[in-house]
Amino acid sequence: MDNHTSPHVDRSADQIDPGRRSALRCMAWAGTGLVWTVAGGVPFAAGLVGGGAQAAPAAGLTFVQISDSHVGFDKPANPDALATLREAVAGIRDLPTKPAFILHTGDISHLSRDEQFDAADQTLKDLGLPVFFVPGEHDVLDDGGGAAYLARYGKGPNGKALGAGWYSFDHGGVHFVALVNVVNLRGGGLGTLGEDQLAWLAGDLKSQVDSTPVVVFAHIPLWTIYPEWGWGTDDGARALSLLRRFGSVTVLNGHIHQILQKIEGNVAFHTARSTAFPQPAPGSAPSPGPVKLPAEKLRGALGVTTVTYRPKASPLAIVDATLG
């Protein structure tokens, strides 16, 4: 159950599903981005990107999660996904605490085309910050089934990415693990990590002591949110079991284009908004897919996430903020 009471996270939000223990929905958060603060090992929302009410502390490790840019998407739900990515980048640039780096949790492009990756890269480059990527299913649509993504992003930090692009790195006392769950998908199944990646993960975590805060990021949620729409990872529970011994684990995902959060034991799960278009709440529509909002409401449904880690304090601060 919820062992971590953070004053910065609204735990009074509705449950997703009364049958699902500890599954909280935080749909009401306003703002363009989610600013994460890791404090005492647990991430929590600290304030809004460009949205006022900034509660992020100045100290600690702060990074930003950005997701589902879908550069190239031009349907009615958002005729210019590159423009809203630019707005998200502008919001990050205006943050009171400069983030150390950016995590992009996938669907950088809409159709894995070079020009889409190029446009996203050019836009993100404006931040002058390191960006760590994982692919979404929209980033592995080339004939090589992800070869284009790997050619561009596959080296990871320090040239160490493996397999379909998974890797880990350490920053500010936190161990970061990038997982790929969008390749070699099976008919009728959900996201998949696969044996090779799980074996690598087990080995990677072996060198970490239990007290090391771990942040895991991947595109499709590692926890089962709504299998009817494919919102989960078939072997996600196996990854989570490898993480169980750690005192603080934060799982950051994208894919569903909305904020959902839950805390189970020492694991905090969080999904980020898209910078391109919203999707319906689980089960609230006949299918997932872009939701067309009135133009003036679109930016209120898009956003990025900022995370700050404070080693001496308690929880991570997570802040979601919309684009407008």
Partner 1 sequence: MKRFLVAMLLAALATVAKAETVEIRIDNFTFSPAEVHVAPGTTVVWVNADDIPHAVAANDKSFKSKVLDTEERYSRTVAGPGVIEYFCSLHPHMTGRIVVDGGTGGPAGR
Determine the interface stretch with partner 1 among 7-15, 36-44, 243-251, 288-296 (rule: CB under 8 A): 288-296
- Shortest distance in whole angstroms from residue 191 CB to partner 1: 9
Phi (first) and psi of residue 144, to 5 degrees: -80, 5
Determine the interface stretch with partner 1 among 151-159, 171-179, 181-189, 310-318 (rule: CB under 8 A): 181-189
Nearer to partner 1, 233 or 306 (CB): 233
Nearer to partner 1, 190 or 242 (CB): 190
- Per-position b or e across 203-213, b if 16+ CB within 10 A of its CB: ebbeebeeebb
Of 7, 96, 203, 227, which one interacts with partner 1 (CB under 8 A)?
227
Of 115, 170, 196, 228, which one interacts with partner 1 (CB under 8 A)?
228
Q: Does residue 229 belong to the site contacting partner 1 (CB under 8 A)?
A: yes
Determine the interface stretch with partner 1 among 26-34, 123-131, 173-181, 281-289 (rule: CB under 8 A): 281-289
β-pairing verdict for 102-104 and 317-322? unpaired
Q: Does residue 75 belong to the site contacting partner 1 (CB under 8 A)?
A: yes
Of 13, 27, 59, 111, which one interacts with partner 1 (CB under 8 A)?
111
Contacts of 194 (CB under 8 A, 6+ apart): 163, 183, 184, 235
Whose tokens are 């780096």? That residue is 101
- Whole-number Å distance between alpha carbons of 121 and 80: 16
**Of the candidates 218, 66, 47, 175, which has an alpha carbon nearest to the alpha carbon of residue 130?**
66
Nearer to partner 1, 17 or 228 (CB): 228
DSSP assignment of 10-25, as one string?
-TTSPBS-TTSTTEE-
Of 67, 112, 258, 261, which one interacts with partner 1 (CB under 8 A)?
112
Q: Does residue 79 belong to the site contacting partner 1 (CB under 8 A)?
A: no
- Shortest distance in whole angstroms from residue 34 CB to partner 1: 24
Contacts of 263 (CB under 8 A, 6+ apart): 2, 3, 4, 22, 24, 42, 269
> Are the CB atoms for 317 and 41 separated by under 8 Å?
no
- Shortest distance in whole angstroms from residue 71 CB to partner 1: 14
Q: Does residue 296 belong to the site contacting partner 1 (CB under 8 A)?
A: no
Q: Contact residues for partner 1 (CB under 8 A)?
A: 75-77, 110-112, 137-138, 141, 143, 185-190, 227-230, 286-290
